[in-house]
Structures are given as structure tokens and as C-alpha cells.
Amino acid sequence: MRSTLTAVVLAAASLAPSLASAQASPLTGNFTLTSDYRFRGISQSYMLPAVQGGIDWAHSSGFYLGNWNSSISGNQYPNGASLEMDFYGGYKFEVAKDVTLDVGGIYYMYPGAYYSGFAGKPKYNNFEVYVGAAMGPFSAKVFIAVTDFFGLDTTTGGKSSSGSYYLDLNYATEIAPKLTLGAHLGYQSVRNYTSNPDLSYFDYKVGVTYDLSGWMLGAAIVGTNADKNVYFATDSKGSRENVGKTGLVLSVGKTF
């Protein structure tokens, strides 16, 4: 999912996505340049830079809709436009003082991309529903795959993966004027794929963002314990990259 421009989440998406909140203007846009697009700790851009941007609409009632997009690597999502497009919507509401709930759904689309070597050209597209809560500097959200998890089904993997879930925990606090420290811990469980191979893993992120006249400058250490024999990609020359390894992610972005 998407990387964000807010202090709560420092990279994609994003972890996990940073969804729209009610503002004076119901329509906002965002743009980001990042040194590596990490989604739940796994690079989606073959450890290379990515260009990202989106638009959000948020109503004062708490309902919101949005679209977010990122360049991705054709080494990992072959045969397509090397593009991820996310469409999401939901409802945020306060249940107690300083406690907000968030429920909704998100659809991940990879135009033209499909698994190579399979009849029927199975796609990577994925749909998840989510529920989350935020209180002060803490937030938590769980995502549940309604479809097979990014196209991992009986054709591509031998088993259905519908019902896979991701737990997203975040903490953010301002440690100096305009400087925010953020920490993230996540767990991805891939249903029916917990052995031979085990696709489940933890991911983590610790970083800072600095507000420079409305431009958000970010730096974060991102990593996972994902099995490098499963989470890897190869390029056209046969070079192999461990896309879940620990790395430094730098970003600059703006909301307008």
C-alpha cells in the first residue's frame, strides 16, 4: 500500500495507507518521491526509487474516498504498466474523547500485470477490508483479504489465500518543533501458506519526518524477517534481490 506524507506512517504503503481525514477543504492531493517503495516492509520497486501520488476526499460526516498510485518494478509485477493503483473508502468516527475508529475497504490494482507461466494470465489485484482505532500517538489497524491474497490462489500457489490478514501497529510523537519520531510493527499472515513455504512474517520501521515549509522530509530504517528464499525478485539479467532486507528509506513529499 502506499507510503504517506504524515508523521504517523513514514513510508507505504503502507504501509499501510494513510487515509483521508476531515479537513477544511474536502479534497486534498499528495505527491512523494521515495528512495524505495516498501509495502508492509517488502520493496515493491526492486529496492529502487519510486514516484507516488494520490487524491483524497473527506466529508465532515466522517466518510472518505481516495486513490493513491505508485510506480513499481516490472521485475516483481511483470507484463504490466509497472504501476500500482489503490482505491479506498471508509468511515471514521469518534467513539470516545480522543478515540477514533476507522472502517473501510481498499482495492489494489496492477494494470496489465499478471503471473507469468500460467494459463488464464492470473492477476495480482487484491481487495481487503479493514478496521482500526487511533488514540493519541497510538494507532492500530487490521486488514483482511476478501480475495485471494494478491492473486495467490489454487492456480498460482496450489491453495487459496483468501482470509489472509495484516496487523498494523504505529506510534508517533513530536520530539522537537516540526520533527516527529515514528515507530511501526506489523505482522502479515498468509492463510494456508504457513509452511512449505512460510509466507508469514513481521516487519518493522523506525524513522523521523521533518516539516520543511510544508514539505515532509522522511528517513526511516525498514526491515522484515521474511524468508529471503521466498521474498526475492530477479531482473532480466538473472540478478537476484532480497526485497525484504533491512534498508534506509528516504522520502520527500507534500500534501496540497
Instruction: For 53-62, write each residue's pLDDT tens digit.
Output: 999 999 999 9
% residues pLDDT > 90 (the chain): 89
Is there a contact between 171 and 202 (Cβ–Cβ < 8 Å)? no
| Average of per-residue pLDDT values in the chain | 91
Instruction: For residue range 176-209, list pLDDT tens digits in order.
Output: 999 999 999 999 999 999 988 899 999 999 999 9
241 has pLDDT over 90: yes
pLDDT score of 73: 98
Q: For residue 211, count CB atoms less than 10 angstroms from its CB and return exposed for 0-12, middle for 13-18, buried for 19 or more.
A: middle
pLDDT score of 25: 73
Backbone angles phi, psi at 149, to 5 degrees: -65, 105
Band the pLDDT of 24: cuts 50, 70, 90.
Answer: low
As a whole number of angstroms, the distance between CA 237 and CA 104 comes to 41
5 has pLDDT over 50: no
pLDDT score of 20: 38
pLDDT score of 7: 33
- Superfamily of domain 27-255 in CATH is monomeric porin ompg (2.40.160.40)
Rounded alpha-carbon distances, angstroms, from residue 196 to 40, 82, 148, 188, 230: 21, 29, 18, 16, 10
Is there a contact between 76 and 83 (Cβ–Cβ < 8 Å)? no
Least confident of 5-14, 122-131, 236-245: 5-14
As a whole number of angstroms, the distance between CA 84 and CA 51 comes to 11
Which residues 6+ apart lie within 8 Å of 5 measured at CB?
A: 18, 30, 32, 216, 253, 254, 255
36 has pLDDT over 60: yes
- Domain map of the chain by residue range? 27-255
Between β-strands 42-43 and 38-39, what pairing exists: parallel, antiparallel or unpaired? antiparallel
As a whole number of angstroms, the distance between CA 217 and CA 19 comes to 19
Answer positive or negative: Cα dihedral of 58, 86, 133, 33.
negative
Using only the alpha carbons of the chain, give its radius of gyration: 18
Instruction: For residue range 55-112, list pLDDT tens digits in order.
Output: 999 999 999 999 999 999 999 999 999 999 999 999 999 999 999 999 999 999 999 9
As a whole number of angstroms, the distance between CA 184 and CA 221 comes to 10
Residue 256's CB is within 10 A of a number of other CB atoms, namely 9
Band the pLDDT of 10: cuts 50, 70, 90.
Answer: very low
4 has pLDDT over 90: no
Which residues 6+ apart lie within 8 Å of 176 measured at CB?
A: none
